[in-house]
Amino acid sequence: MTRSQVMLLIQDAFDALWEADLVGENLRVDETTDLLGPETLLDSIAFVTFIVECEDRLQAAIGDDDHFVSIAITEIHDFNPEEARLTVGVLVDYIVREHAAGESPRD
């Protein structure tokens, strides 16, 4: 998948959070949007929901029922758990890299 495809997928996931009333504003995401950290709009429930929404959309995009997509935060290379901050750009890098490699993070 390309970066722009993944960005669209992430925007769709954010739109789903808005429709489910899990975030307070209908945000237009960019690479600097915080997913984790002091500036994020997502609480823990919204963040887990966001990850599941992304996984489901990735799964549908890949269209392979034998290859289950999992996003594992601890395996995102550029995510520093000591800062506990994750941006959309870092997540996009991770997803593009994993799918360019043709493998799920847990495979």
Partner 1 sequence: MTERPVMLVTGSSRGIGLGIAKHFVSAGYDVHGCSRGSTEWESEWYQHTVLDVSDEQSVTRWVRQARSRWKRIDALVCNAAFAPATHPLSLTNTDIWQQVLRTNIDGTFFACREVARTMTAQRSGRIVTLSSMAAALHIEGTAAYAASKSAIVEMTKVLARELAPAGVTCNVVGVSVVMTDTVTALGQAVTERALERLTFKRPLEVEEVCHVVEFFCSPASSAVTGQVLQLGLVT
Closest distance to partner 1 from the beta carbon of 32 (Å)? 25
Residues that bind partner 1 (CB under 8 A): 20, 43-45, 48-49, 51-53, 59, 65, 68, 70, 106-107
**Which CB atom, from 23 or from 51, has the smaller least distance to partner 1?**
51
**Which CB atom, from 15 or from 89, has the smaller least distance to partner 1?**
15
Checking 49-58 for CB contacts under 8 A at 24+ apart, the result is: 49/16, 49/17, 49/20, 49/22, 50/13, 50/14, 50/17, 53/12, 53/13, 53/16, 53/17, 54/9, 54/10, 54/13, 54/91, 54/95, 57/9, 57/12, 57/13, 58/1, 58/9, 58/95, 58/99
Closest distance to partner 1 from the beta carbon of 76 (Å)? 17
**Which CB atom, from 30 or from 43, has the smaller least distance to partner 1?**
43
Closest distance to partner 1 from the beta carbon of 27 (Å)? 18
